Structure 1
Amino acid sequence: MTEKRMSRWYFGGLASCGAACCTHPLDLLKVHLQTQQEVKKRMVGMAVHVVKNDGVLALYNGLSASLCRQITYSLTRFAIYETVRDMMGNTGKGPMPFYQKVLLGTFGAINMPLMDSTESLEKLACYDQAKQLVLGTGVLGDNMLTHFLSSFIAGVLHCLRETAKLGPLAFYKGLVPAGIRLIPHTVLTFVFLEQLKKYFGIRIIS
């Protein structure tokens, strides 16, 4: 008999909220940098400027809006993706192939028109596939290092995909700030999600 933990439908939203609490200052600094009329400050300089003028807590201005977005948009995309993936995965044919995960992610993004399509369900497909590949090597078990490595791979791929949408020259500008913002959020989201599953998930005994 083996025991497996399944995610509850709201875990994705909670994990995304946890990640947002950690990475919100990076989002806030990115917005400040993008709204400069002239490039006068870089990320560190802008952080010092915000803290000096408004205090450390100013780095968390707008956190409630970010959490509202995560608890609606992210919760919905995770719930749709994981529910359909688990239903299709229970057919006894083994893990869902990567192309089906991507199709599921794309379908979910198309059918969520009121939400930001730049962070579609495709990131979930990348994480699922990366985790499957890492576990498939037999070197690592289903542990925190595997979750971190898989989510890091998904974060890098997501960052590259978003940059590619802007054309080839986009790879030569803004990649570092985009990576600084996207990769930590992706990594933390999936690490938190796996911990929620591990300690509070639905027990499946087979």
Structure 2
Amino acid sequence: MSSPLRDAAPPLPAGEKLPAPPKKKQPYPFWLGGVAATIAASITHPLDLTKVRLQASGDKRMIESMRKTIRTAGVRGMFDGITGTWLRQMSYSVCRFWAYDESKKIVGAGPNAPAWKLAAAGSMAGGIAGFVGNPGEIVMVRMQGDFAKPPEKRFNYKHGLDALFRMVREEGPSSLARGVYPNVFRAILMNASQLASYDYFKAELLKTKYFDDNIYCHFTASFAAGTVATTVCSPADVLKSRIMNASGPGSSSTMAVIRQSLKTEGPMFMFKGWLPAWSRLQPTTILIFLTLEQLKNVVDWTRGDTRG
């Protein structure tokens, strides 16, 4: 039979203290994901611009569309509407990364959570962010697609905030909700596929002997997440672009857009612009997560923590 005295831990040598318990890791700033997304979107803006113009106009090929933009507006034309992109990222992306982290707490999705829990958290975050970020989404799509239209049909917004004020003044406050349902649906798909699949692929890669928690792991996981997200989101992305670009009465109805598109182009219209969408979303996804991981490293460094 054991004795309490015999089982007790041996006394510490004179002058030594018990090691301090490990500090609980502090959460990262809620806006970190939005900053990472804004940086990534600024770099890949020309590809996003081309994708939107392919979806909303009669352009047939990515290179052809890019040449048309440069021919008519110069190289600077590849950055048309970038203030709309910034507005969208600092509303939608800030919200979605914050909501995703909070949603993971709600569903109990830890570091090695199953895919369905991560997808559930991503879906919740997407629903919230899609609604909050809808005005910024409209502004971004309109500013990017403006120069693809005939001069008499252009909106000619000066910048993102000018677009918001003019929409409210000229079309009424309800215009800020144009296309909100397909946008929320797309945001749910995007976050359930992009954010959740990145976390899932990263966790699975770290279980193997080939990867550590470093840039190679982050790159591989984000590459896989970008491909999954492009394919899952393509139908809703096409519908969103066409509805938000519509300006005539009754032309923004989701069913009207679907019927007209099916009639003129067939069911494959849902994947129109997949290649430029993948070409844009893939580097954007990679840049977002690589930048986010590095920003987290910077935050840890300023706190004197190490990534664990």
**TM surpasses 0.5:** yes
What is the CA-CA distance between 1:43 and the residue it aligns to?
1.6
**Alignment check: 8 A CA contact 1:13 1:78 kept:** yes
Alignment equivalent of 2:288, drawn from 189, 196, 199: 189
Alignment equivalent of 1:157, drawn from 228, 239, 254: 228
What is the CA-CA distance between 1:129 and the residue it aligns to?
0.4
Q: Given the superposition, is the C-alpha separation of residues 28 and 113 from structure 1 closer, same or farther in structure 2, using an over 3 Å criterion?
A: closer
Deviations 1:28-54 (A, max 9, x none): 1122323434x4x52222222222332
Deviations 1:74-98 (A, max 9, x none): 11110111244368467xxx63332
Q: Given the superposition, is the C-alpha separation of residues 181 and 113 from structure 1 closer, same or farther in structure 2, using an over 3 Å criterion?
A: closer
- The structure whose RCO (Cα within 8 Å, separation 6+) is larger is 1
- Farther off after superposition, 192-201 or 2-11: 2-11
Pairing 1:126–2:197 present: yes
**1:45-194 alignment runs, 5 A limit:** 45-85=64-104, 88=108, 95-112=112-129, 114=131, 115=134, 116-117=183-184, 118-120=186-188, 121-122=191-192, 123-163=194-234, 169=268, 173-194=272-293
Q: How many residues align?
A: 201
Kindly, what percent of the aligned residue pairs are identical? 31
Pairing 1:44–2:143 present: no
Taking the aligned partners of 1:113 and 1:171, their CA distance within structure 2 comes to 20
Structure 2 gap segments, 5+ residues each: 1-21, 135-182, 239-265
Deviations 1:141-191 (A, max 9, x none): 111111111111111111121247699856875432221122121111111
- Farther off after superposition, 27-36 or 67-76: 27-36
Q: Secondary structure at the match of 1:108?
A: helix
Structure 1 gap segments, 5+ residues each: none
Q: Secondary structure at the match of 1:141?
A: coil
Taking the aligned partners of 1:188 and 1:205, their CA distance within structure 2 comes to 20
Q: Given the superposition, is the C-alpha separation of residues 4 and 195 from structure 1 closer, same or farther in structure 2, using an over 3 Å criterion?
A: farther
Q: Given the superposition, is the C-alpha separation of residues 183 and 191 from structure 1 closer, same or farther in structure 2, using an over 3 Å criterion?
A: same
Output the TM-score relative to the length of structure 2: 0.57
Taking the aligned partners of 2:208 and 2:52, their CA distance within structure 1 comes to 40
Pairing 1:30–2:129 present: no
Q: Given the superposition, is the C-alpha separation of residues 112 and 77 from structure 1 closer, same or farther in structure 2, using an over 3 Å criterion?
A: closer
**Alignment check: 8 A CA contact 1:50 1:59 kept:** yes
CA root-mean-square deviation: 3.1
**Alignment check: 8 A CA contact 1:8 1:197 kept:** no
Taking the aligned partners of 1:184 and 1:59, their CA distance within structure 2 comes to 17
What is the CA-CA distance between 1:6 and the residue it aligns to?
5.2
Taking the aligned partners of 1:28 and 1:72, their CA distance within structure 2 comes to 19
**Alignment check: 8 A CA contact 2:115 2:196 kept:** yes
Q: Secondary structure at the match of 2:30?
A: coil
Letter in 1 for 2:79: Y
What is the CA-CA distance between 1:204 and the residue it aligns to?
6.7
Taking the aligned partners of 1:54 and 1:175, their CA distance within structure 2 comes to 25
Pairing 1:200–2:299 present: yes
Output the TM-score relative to the length of structure 1: 0.82
What is the CA-CA distance between 1:113 and the residue it aligns to?
5.3
**Alignment check: 8 A CA contact 2:96 2:128 kept:** no
Moved over 6 A (4+): 1-5, 164-168
